[in-house]
Structure 1
Amino acid sequence: MPKNLKFIEPTRLYTAFFILVAILLIIFFHHPLLLWAVLGIAFIIGFYESYKLCNKITPSPLFLSFALIIWLSVYLLESPLGVFCILVLLGAYQSYTKKGAIEQMLPFIYPTIPFIFLYLLYLDNSINALIWLIVIVGLTDSFAYFGGKLLGGKLFSNPAFCPTSPNKTKEGVLVGVGIATLIGSLIGLGVCGFFASLILTFITSITSVFGDLYESYLKRKAGVKDSGSILPGHGGILDRLDGYFFAVIILYTLLQIINL
């Protein structure tokens, strides 16, 4: 066994166990208000982290208030309408006063819109769709890591998957996407037919890889290792959920299309 697979930081294991228990409790006691509240806490923390990554300063109470208003509107309207209204207001203010920067608006898109889609995925497609997403992204991420450690550099002369994240290998991505597609397709049968489940799982798995890469890009641009430190051994909320942010938008959209 490779040396880098022999030791996993205990703190990382404890945090992972806590996250797993929290997810299982949410799935078992699932209710729109409960999920909205839990996602809301994660969203506010993620918004804070994203603002710091993009602007290198903490968000003002005004911007945090905007984030709270958006999340409240998600519960009341069950749509992303609130975030678009805030973006229009911010854009109008910046264009009129010539104050502010485009970076101030990015947190209202990332991670705001993906968080909204996480909630809508549950509302419009049941808890089964959310479980399906968790399985797809979790397997893709985990097996891409272990596959890369075990096989990285053995199948391709240039194993780096892309320049922005040299530690992510082509071999790892192949293993992660392959296993996620095989297992995820079976989980997806609780939501749609087998062929649709197979295709949607494959596309969602690949998309989750690019969600991970995008957050890595933001961190490299900001010159930081982690988006935050609220999850010991794992970093911040964005570090844990980055793979879900692109994946949920694609999965939700494709499900809406096949359900037309």
Structure 2
Amino acid sequence: MNNFWQRVLTGILFVFIVAGGIYYHAFSFFLVFFLVVVASIYELQGLLTNANIKNNFLTMLSVGVFIYLASFLVKSGISELSIFFLIVPLISLVFALELFKTTGKPFESLGTSLLSALYVGAPFAFLHSLGFHDGVYSFKLPLAVFILVWINDTGAYVSGVTIGRHKFFERISPKKTWEGTIGGFIFTLITAYVLSIYWTDLNVSQWLIFGGITSIMAVLGDLLESMFKRSIGVKDSGSILPGHGGFLDRFDAVIFALPMAAFYIEIFVR
């Protein structure tokens, strides 16, 4: 099978699992992204190891998974907000364990170990804020983020290939152009408008703002992961998705878009 068809089949399966998990039920939604969080933290560990940075994988995993799990339990109504206070003994334990290490650099180890919480666990935790925005699970806002990100990527690629001339951020991503970036933004706004016709949870202006935020943050997320990979000299974060790299490669834009999208909905949409 050549690389093109490998990419196509992997892409179709990827979209089917992600969109299907969001659409089917709250617990399939939880399970799909629980696995994504675990796999992404594992890949992040691999990137750090490749950069010769010493850290603790179990710390990364436990903190990242705790934030994701606690968010689901609170937003779904299974648990009270007080469950988040368990982060206090967990973080205390993480710091205390450094005392028993005889080698390594504690600042480096703690910093990179806790990075997973901010870069992976916390962003995916915001999915639950979108899914349970009205107190009852709805697939619309979480699925909308992915649709908008996918359209943004596709629109940017098509625009960049056809009319792209001026480099956007050449130091980090040499192939990105201003034309592609603007094209992706326009395609995303059009998609947001279409969503407003069928999903009336938000009005037209709210959907357009939601789409604009998602598009801008998706571009920044893609650039950030490119910066991380370029700094340690790797092309992909992993190889688990044939033709598409790793989980971080596929979710880099979503990881950065989710917190701001959720912030907008929680603060400005009632």
TM-score class normalised by the smaller sequence: 0.7 to 0.9
Deviation at 1:70, TM superposition (A): 4.0
Rate the CA distance shift 1:67–1:101 in 2: closer, same or farther, 3 A. Answer: closer
User: What is aligned with 2:71?
Assistant: 74
Give CA-to-partner distance per residue, 1:38-77, whole Å, 9 cap, x none.
Answer: 1101110001112222343785445434444444433333
Distance 2:68 2:213 in 1: 28
User: What is aligned with 2:269?
Assistant: 259
Residues 54 and 106 of structure 1 are in contact (CA less than 8 Å); yes or no, is this contact kept in structure 2?
Answer: no
In the TM superposition, 1:95-244 aligns within 5 A as 99=106, 100-124=109-133, 126-153=138-165, 156=166, 159-188=167-196, 190=199, 191-244=201-254
- Write the letter of the residue equivalent to 1:54: L
Residues 148 and 215 of structure 2 are in contact (CA less than 8 Å); yes or no, is this contact kept in structure 1?
Answer: yes
Residues 132 and 188 of structure 1 are in contact (CA less than 8 Å); yes or no, is this contact kept in structure 2?
Answer: no
Q: TM-score, normalised by structure 1?
A: 0.84
Give the one of 15, 24, 28 matched to 1:34. 28
Distance 2:44 2:217 in 1: 20
Number of matched residues? 249
Cα RMSD, aligned residues only: 2.8
Residues 147 and 172 of structure 1 are in contact (CA less than 8 Å); yes or no, is this contact kept in structure 2?
Answer: yes
Give the one of 45, 48, 51 matched to 1:51. 45
Distance 1:235 1:95 in 2: 37
Residues 59 and 94 of structure 2 are in contact (CA less than 8 Å); yes or no, is this contact kept in structure 1?
Answer: no
Rate the CA distance shift 1:257–1:95 in 2: closer, same or farther, 3 A. Answer: farther
Identity score, percent: 29
Distance 1:212 1:188 in 2: 26
User: What is aligned with 1:3?
Assistant: none
Q: Return 5+ residue gaps in structure 2 as ranges.
A: 76-80
Rate the CA distance shift 1:41–1:221 in 2: closer, same or farther, 3 A. Answer: same
Give the one of 91, 94, 98 matched to 1:90. 94
Distance 1:217 1:71 in 2: 25
Give CA-to-partner distance per residue, 1:200-250, whole Å, 9 cap, x none.
Answer: 211221111001111111111121111111111101111111111111111
Distance 1:64 1:24 in 2: 25
Rate the CA distance shift 1:144–1:51 in 2: closer, same or farther, 3 A. Answer: same
Residues 123 and 256 of structure 2 are in contact (CA less than 8 Å); yes or no, is this contact kept in structure 1?
Answer: yes
Distance 1:143 1:257 in 2: 29
